[in-house]
Structure 1
């Protein structure tokens, strides 16, 4: 794994044995743009680490994609509710570009917790970051103006502006493509 030394850098410090044990259970995935990592209606089987590339999570309602999150290099992604509860996913996760990912199955992750108890702490921190991002997104979508939502996306995840389509960005920001175009023209 190319970035194995940086895998836990943004999360927590783990022992070398834990890091090596976890990495030994990872499977490398090379995916083209549009590859479905997880599918709505199926149980999420894997936790993914994006080494190179990006992904988006979305729901389909009334024949419309509603983007709920974007994930970039150095981040973990999965359909978290499905992954934890072992129930069918509400969302689909697809790559936005050619990507290099590493994934661990739910079963292998659970085995890591048994073999390397400090992995539970690292996983808890991953879950905390996921929860914080989810709460920020809720506040972001309910209490900020369309312009403020776009400016915050530019500030926090500027790479998304280059990687995602205008429609995906507008959907994520909970606005029409026309509104997004007007905001971009004024900035």
Structure 2
């Protein structure tokens, strides 16, 4: 429970009562490398927090695996569109290594919001961070060269380079494995 309480350090304004209520609804699970936390075609019912390990979100189109995002320790993740809209997800979430996560059910979270408005504010902050990351990723993909995208990844999220496969990184950066290999050889 000690590492789970670390998630609350990200939100210092949260009351002890809200923390305890939230902790009471948390389920802790372990996943092996390659195991799916969420599967496309199903409604995503959980918001996750990575205690240990890492995960990636991806979808498959025309037999091609396309990585959308990476999540590391002390980060929240979910299939946001599905979690909010309650529609089936178009993405999968996969553990990239042996991982331990805490998760909370969508219905339980909504019930907590009714009693604890500071939790609702905390959730808004999580959504804002998700939005900022998504917007940065869109700008990143449209306006930066392949080399600059890789250099940014090295600077701002270096752990991903050590945890993800070359194919996953290339897909995330929207380039071929060959292009990524050429860039890496020149750095």
TM-score, with structure 1 as normaliser: 0.98
Q: Distance in 2 between matches of 1:88 and 1:12?
A: 33
Superposition pairs of residues 64-83 of structure 1, within 5 angstroms: 64-83=64-83
1:12–1:122 Cα contact (<8 Å) kept: no
Residue of structure 2 equivalent to 1:56: 56
CA shift for structure 1 position 12: 4.3
Shift of 1:116: 1.2
**Aligned 8 A contact 1:11 1:126 in 2:** no
| Cα distance in 2 for residues equivalent to 1:56 and 1:4 | 20
Distance in 2, Cα, partners of 1:82 & 1:18: 25
Map residues 92-103 of structure 1 onto 2, 5 A cutoff.
Answer: 92-103=92-103
Q: Separation in 1 of the partners of 2:81 and 2:132?
A: 15
Q: Give the structure with the larger helix fraction.
A: 2
For structure 2, which runs of at least 5 residues remain unmatched after alignment? none
Aligned to 1:177: 177
Deviations 1:73-124 (A, max 9, x none): 0000000000000000011110100001000000110111012111000000
Alignment of 1:119-158 (within 5 A): 119-158=119-158
CA distance in 1: counterparts of 2:4 and 2:179, whole angstroms: 42
- Structure 1: runs of 5 or more not aligned: none
TM-score between both structures, scaled by the size of structure 2: 0.98
* Greater than 4 Å deviation, 4+ residue runs: none
Deviations 1:129-152 (CA, angstroms, capped at 9, x unpaired): 000000000000110000000010
Aligned residues: 187
Task: State how far apart, in whole Å, the 2-side matches of 1:125 and 1:132 are.
Answer: 11
